[in-house]
Chains A and B, each alone.
Chain A
Amino acid sequence: MPINFSGGCLCGAVRYEGTTEPVVQGHCQCRDCQRASGAGHNTIMAVPEADITITGDLKFFDKPADSGNIVSRGFCPTCGSSVLSKNAAMAGMLFLTAGCLDDPGVLEPVMAVYTSRGNDWDRLDPSLMSFPEMPPRVPGQG
């Protein structure tokens, strides 16, 4: 079912809104997501770029993932909030971070990836589908 969502960074320089049916919602415990979040995992909702309007400028940091695909992490250059990311292997999709949603409760995680990198202090809902690394094929993507 489509959801309305809006969000933005801590200082308000970057804002977004849209209506979408999220493609993937979940947590990632890879080391890059740990460093990008400052916590034990990142939590994202993947939405088609066409479904979102963004105002303000993000700064992007590119780094190859395990797969070799470039992950570009977008943050606000003023306040540092981790707002969204892109993955070169999934062009046209934006991965919005849960923490920057105005109502993070609209996001419902269904899976956890890279759990092999998880720390024991980083608890996740044990009923989630979980994968030691990336799933062979992203659920919802056929």
Chain B
Amino acid sequence: MTTPITGGCACGAIRYECTAEPVVSVHCQCRDCQRFSGTGHLFIMIVPKAAVTLTGEPTFYETVGDSGHAVDRGFCPRCGSPVVGRYAGFPDAVGLAAGCLDDPARFQPSVVIYSRSAIPWDVMDPALPTVAKMPPARR
């Protein structure tokens, strides 16, 4: 990887930097991600936690996912930007919100999840693999 992945919230209070490539990049159309983002989906890059440096203090809000595991969505308490996610089912990973990337053109989504709650106008690339809920675990 040539340069780290960098990004941050709208007001600059929270910044992230990641020195590893995403494991997977996900458009999530679940209802919780819709309310959190305000639009039809959230675009999250899942990266190894050990490769991420976060500056600033996001506020986390916890929900319980279908799996029964906690999902913590982190946002900037000053400007409200969704910034990071933590997943009890994947403790070694964190999610970085793509809208907060300094260079959003750098990454491509690899899968669409929770299409069962897709909004009709929320158009996805038809070439992307799509699953109704979560993909089966691969470990």
Contact = CB atoms under 8 A, between A and B. Distances in A.
A94 interface: no
A38 B10 contact: no
B61 A125 contact: no
A100 B38 contact: yes
B83 interface: yes
A75 B33 CA distance: 14
Nearest to A79: B61
A68 B71 CA distance: 37
Interface in A20-49: 27, 32-44
A70 interface: no
A139 interface: no
Given A38-B98, A77-B77, A125-B123, A83 B38 contact: yes
Given A36-B10, A119-B104, A43 B39 contact: yes
Contacts of B81: 35-36, 38
Interface string B92-128: 0000011110001101110000000001111111000
Contact of A82 (B38, B41, B105, B109): B38
Contacts of B35: 8-10, 79, 81, 99-100
Instruction: Choose among A34, A38, A42, A109 the residue with the greatest number of B CB atoms under 10 Å from its CB.
Output: A38
A99 B34 contact: yes
B21 to A, nearest CB: 16
Interface residues of A, number: 47
Interface string B15-49: 00000000000010000111111111111100000
Given A11-B61, A105-B120, A123-B125, A37 B79 contact: no
B43 A36 contact: no
13 contacts: A34-B99, A35-B10, A38-B98, A39-B37, A43-B40, A43-B121, A75-B80, A80-B74, A80-B80, A97-B38, A104-B34, A107-B121, A124-B123
